[in-house]
Structure 1
Amino acid sequence: MDNLHYEKFADGTVKCIEDEIPFEVPESWAWARLQSISTMITDGTHKTPQYSNSGYIFLSSRNVTSGKIDWDNIMYIPESLHQELYSRVAPRIGDILLAKNGTTGAAAIIDEEKIFDIYVSLALIRTVKDINSYFTLYAIRSTYVQAHFFKSLKGIGVPNLHLEHIRHTLIPIPPISEQGRCVSKIEKLIPIIASIQANKENLIETINTTKSKILDLAIRGKLVPQDESDEPASVLLERIQAEKEELIKQGKIKRDKRESVIYRGTDNSYYERFADGSEKCIDEEIPFEIPGSWLFVRLKEIGSIIGGGTPRTSNESYWDGNIYWITPADLSNHSDIYISHGSRSITELGLKDSSATLMPAHTVLYSSRAPIGHIAIAANALATNQGFKSVVPHDTRMSLFVYFCLKERTPSIVLRATGTTFKEISGTAMAETIVPLPPLREQKRICNKIRSLFTLLENMHQIID
């Protein structure tokens, strides 16, 4: 014996199926196609029925979602149609209902004496007498079978699980007495597993809530203690303003006609003084209290807000060059703080002939639509598409603090977004975002503390997973 698995067909032919066997089973077990342990594998009517307000119950895949049959949200069909459908498929206790689309792969066993009919989106599996239908149900719910179903999906739009693939599915079969013991053990473990999963979800939610709280404390000056020897934020801002003046002289940036300074008056209210000498009280815009060595500033006062663009996709000379180009999709599953490149790149000609801008390393990339708030720091020079309002800090040593600050301020930024089809924060609105500015040395301490705490929380998350 070569210890390989073979399949023998009705015409006497034999085929090696070793490449289909997913794992080893005990010697007393066997592998079988689902059709060989079933007396019936079929589906419901392929015709869209005429529903009625009362009559006979009619189930579809939406009634089989989480291991149980939902008898509450049901449709009804008239008796005449029921008689036609029931003569073809008459579900009974012990049959398995399997969703072929919609909630594809979800399965439940009929455990109540009810007369009903099924739609094409449900398959009905009736096992032979010597096969425990509950064991078959749990086998179908296994990750192995679910993965097999997923790979078998066909169709455009709403993929379907075809009957041929259901019938062809391999199921491990133990002796009948062991099937019963397996079912008993599984049913004892299910509530324990559900409890673990619930606790896991609660812990993950707690971790995410803790991260949000850490950022909230950080930008309020409550995460690390203040140090009186730190250069105050006012000096940092003066230096930034001097550097901006130099950039304006060099023609690298334009002077903002609405330049302003936010300060706290003797009455403890916050005011904004503009270049023309006018000022106004902005208490309603101030989000929270900050330490005395900190300042509130508009985002535009500490960095340039840069949009992006997309070269014409029909022009090949614009693409696959040496300039990294980022879209919000590149950040959708990106968990690192820094990013060096996206899935595509553009040429210097593509950059020149579009509204994309080459931004330096340490730019804080911030998606401005679909969705608002994907964020990362550029590890090197790169460009983005028009779905960004990125911040190029005038002092790149602030990049990491700006990154964490914008992560925390995103909900308030979203509230100021406009649009009907989808919300977007404009460059002007982004520039007007009010953010806290701590002393530079304190920024570094804050960011180090955040990263240290986040690392602990992420390690906990990995252990939970």
Structure 2
Amino acid sequence: MFITLKPHKPHYENVPFEIPSSWEWTTINTISKSILYGVSESAKTNGKYRLLRITDIQNNSVQWDSVPYTDFDENKAKSYLLSDGDILFARTGATVGKSYLVQGLTEEAIYASYLIRVQTYDAVLPQYVKFYFESGYYWEQIEQGSVGVGQPNVNGTILGNLHVPIPPIHEQFRIVSELSKWMGIIDIIEMGKTDLQTIIKQVKSKILDLAIQGKLVAQDPSDEPASELLKRINPKAEFACDNGHYTQLSDGWTVCRLEQVTNYEQPTAYIVNSTTYDDSYLTPVLTAGKSFIIGYTNETAGIYSNLPCIIFDDFTTDSKKVDFPFKVKSSAMKILKIHKDIEIDYVAMFMSITRLVGDTHKRYWISEYSKLEIPIPPKAEQKRIVYAAREIFTQLDEIMESL
């Protein structure tokens, strides 16, 4: 069935943006022969129909082999059978507004109740409508129309009333063709970007490996050996110039335990009292994990300021060097001070690539992590290593930012 799109200029006088004279502003209702909610059926291991759910749709694709089945009344199922060209719309939850264009169906399938199916008239390409469902203007309308205190949702009425600009059918074909070409190129670029980001992370890890093996910068025979440095730190301690883990230490290097060059402090005095954070407050609240700064507090008491230091997550063994005043989220952390004759950045590099993974309920610093052996280069070489690593990391970060 074909429809003729008639001008709606009187109804759409306050249009969001101008469109070519051959285009028309209309609604999803006007271009759709059907807008229909899915079925409330239970997923099963076996059945007559595949039952497509919101969770089966990931990154605009469906792995149909993993989609469950359902048994549904055959006479009723006819109304819900999916066909190529159908557009499914997530109407509730965190993914509200997400859409999926059905293509390449090989089995009979129906769709679950949290999805709405849109079937367009022949005068409107579903591929064009799908691209519209990806546009910024579409998402602005979804955000304005979503309702619900707990879970946002958009019902069929709101969906049907969304405004959509429609070009002539031949121009729709040209638009879909051009967008498909560019989206394919963008996907290749994104894939390459992801690969490059992974490579950069691997390069950083390799740089740090080379750093603690004495292979990042040249050695200088005139440097004071690290053994002399460590003897000044602790005259009674015994240090190795070789061991099972570092069997080919560079000249002038020595191995010691982390606890021999660090002092730790419990963070109890610095735990934040209130988790009512605000970006306008001055003092950051830290965790040693990936999130690092989890918020800002206006509390003025119990701020740690004996800087620089390293914060160490006692459960995950994540660590971060910190050179600004802070408070902490919880007691699951150690605050480490590195001996003044040891470069803190060098120790931070070692810790950033040295993790212990095991029982997440176990505290690691005292029992195991502090006992780890760290190769120590001469003081002057520590400085050269830190400088070289920073220079390389800065260049790699610039590449990352440009992606």
The TM-score by the shorter chain falls in which range?
0.7 to 0.9
Identical aligned pairs, as a percentage? Answer: 25
List aligned pairs for 1:239-250, cutoff 5 A: 239-241=232-234
Matched, 1:42 2:19: no
What is the Cα deviation at residue 72 of structure 1? 1.8
Per the alignment, residue 86 of structure 1 pairs with 78
Calculate the aligned-residue CA RMSD, in Å: 3.6
Per the alignment, residue 254 of structure 1 pairs with none
Cα gap change, 1:366/1:52 in structure 2, threshold over 3 Å: closer, same or farther?
A: closer
Post-superposition Cα deviations, 1:144-201, rounded to whole Å, max 9, x if no partner, equal 5356546655557765443344334333322221101111222333433322222221
Asked if the contact 1:69/1:108 (under 8 Å) is kept, the reply is: no
Cα gap change, 1:52/1:291 in structure 2, threshold over 3 Å: closer, same or farther?
A: closer
Post-superposition Cα deviations, 1:407-427, rounded to whole Å, max 9, x if no partner, equal 122x3xx23x534xx564243
Q: Quick one: which of 197, 200, 203 aligns to 2:193?
A: 200
Cα gap change, 1:153/1:437 in structure 2, threshold over 3 Å: closer, same or farther?
A: farther
Per the alignment, residue 381 of structure 2 pairs with 442
Asked if the contact 2:231/2:237 (under 8 Å) is kept, the reply is: no
Q: Quick one: which of 411, 432, 454 aligns to 2:371?
A: 432
List aligned pairs for 1:351-390, cutoff 5 A: 351=302, 358=304, 360-369=306-315, 371-380=316-325, 385-390=330-335
What is the Cα deviation at residue 363 of structure 1? 0.8
| SS of aligned partner of 2:221 | coil
Post-superposition Cα deviations, 1:390-416, rounded to whole Å, max 9, x if no partner, equal 21012076111122121122x3xx23x
Q: Counterpart of 2:229 in structure 1: which amino acid?
A: L
Cα gap change, 1:82/1:315 in structure 2, threshold over 3 Å: closer, same or farther?
A: closer
Per the alignment, residue 66 of structure 1 pairs with 59
Matched, 1:343 2:296: yes
Consecutive unaligned residues in structure 1, runs of 5 or more: 1-6, 243-258, 271-282, 317-321, 352-356
Q: Counterpart of 1:344 in structure 2: which amino acid?
A: T
Consecutive unaligned residues in structure 2, runs of 5 or more: 1-6
Cα gap change, 1:343/1:463 in structure 2, threshold over 3 Å: closer, same or farther?
A: same
With structure 2 as the length reference, what TM-score do the two structures score? 0.82
Per the alignment, residue 319 of structure 1 pairs with none
| SS of aligned partner of 1:194 | helix
Q: Equivalents in 1 of 2:366, 2:139: separation in Å?
A: 46
| SS of aligned partner of 1:372 | coil
Q: Counterpart of 1:395 in structure 2: which amino acid?
A: K
Asked if the contact 2:321/2:345 (under 8 Å) is kept, the reply is: no
List aligned pairs for 1:148-187, cutoff 5 A: 148-149=141-142, 154-155=147-148, 159-187=152-180
Per the alignment, residue 250 of structure 2 pairs with 291
Per the alignment, residue 332 of structure 1 pairs with 290
Larger RCO of the pair (alpha carbons < 8 Å, separation 6+): 2
Matched, 1:29 2:20: no
Q: Quick one: which of 261, 265, 272 aligns to 1:306?
A: 265
Question: Quick check: 27-36 or 205-214, which moved more?
Answer: 27-36
| SS of aligned partner of 1:53 | coil
What is the Cα deviation at residue 459 of structure 1? 1.0
Q: Equivalents in 2 of 1:44, 1:379: separation in Å?
A: 54
Q: Quick one: which of 86, 89, 93 aligns to 1:98?
A: 89
Q: Counterpart of 2:260 in structure 1: which amino acid?
A: E
Per the alignment, residue 4 of structure 2 pairs with none
Post-superposition Cα deviations, 1:68-126, rounded to whole Å, max 9, x if no partner, equal 444322333335x3423434x45434221233357551412245475432211221011
Q: Equivalents in 1 of 2:324, 2:271: separation in Å?
A: 22
Higher helix share: 1
Per the alignment, residue 225 of structure 2 pairs with 232
Matched, 1:407 2:363: no
Cα gap change, 1:220/1:113 in structure 2, threshold over 3 Å: closer, same or farther?
A: closer
Q: Equivalents in 1 of 2:194, 2:271: separation in Å?
A: 43
Per the alignment, residue 276 of structure 1 pairs with none
Q: Counterpart of 1:378 in structure 2: which amino acid?
A: D
Q: Counterpart of 1:98 in structure 2: which amino acid?
A: F
Q: Quick one: which of 100, 119, 122 aligns to 1:126?
A: 119
Asked if the contact 1:65/1:107 (under 8 Å) is kept, the reply is: no
| SS of aligned partner of 1:391 | strand
Post-superposition Cα deviations, 1:294-313, rounded to whole Å, max 9, x if no partner, equal 11111111110223136584
Q: Counterpart of 1:332 in structure 2: which amino acid?
A: K
Per the alignment, residue 455 of structure 1 pairs with 394
Cα gap change, 1:144/1:299 in structure 2, threshold over 3 Å: closer, same or farther?
A: farther
Asked if the contact 1:359/1:382 (under 8 Å) is kept, the reply is: no
Asked if the contact 1:96/1:126 (under 8 Å) is kept, the reply is: yes
Matched, 1:215 2:208: yes
Cα gap change, 1:207/1:130 in structure 2, threshold over 3 Å: closer, same or farther?
A: same
Q: Equivalents in 2 of 1:396, 1:168: separation in Å?
A: 69
What is the Cα deviation at residue 16 of structure 1? 6.2
Q: Equivalents in 2 of 1:165, 1:396: separation in Å?
A: 67
Q: Quick one: which of 235, 240, 254 aligns to 1:263?
A: 240
Q: Equivalents in 2 of 1:287, 1:84: separation in Å?
A: 71
Q: Equivalents in 1 of 2:290, 2:167: separation in Å?
A: 44
What is the Cα deviation at residue 67 of structure 1? 2.9
Q: Counterpart of 1:83 in structure 2: which amino acid?
A: N
Asked if the contact 1:361/1:381 (under 8 Å) is kept, the reply is: no
Asked if the contact 2:51/2:70 (under 8 Å) is kept, the reply is: yes
Cα gap change, 1:405/1:148 in structure 2, threshold over 3 Å: closer, same or farther?
A: farther
| SS of aligned partner of 1:296 | strand
Q: Equivalents in 2 of 1:367, 1:323: separation in Å?
A: 23
Q: Equivalents in 1 of 2:43, 2:195: separation in Å?
A: 44
Cα gap change, 1:188/1:300 in structure 2, threshold over 3 Å: closer, same or farther?
A: same
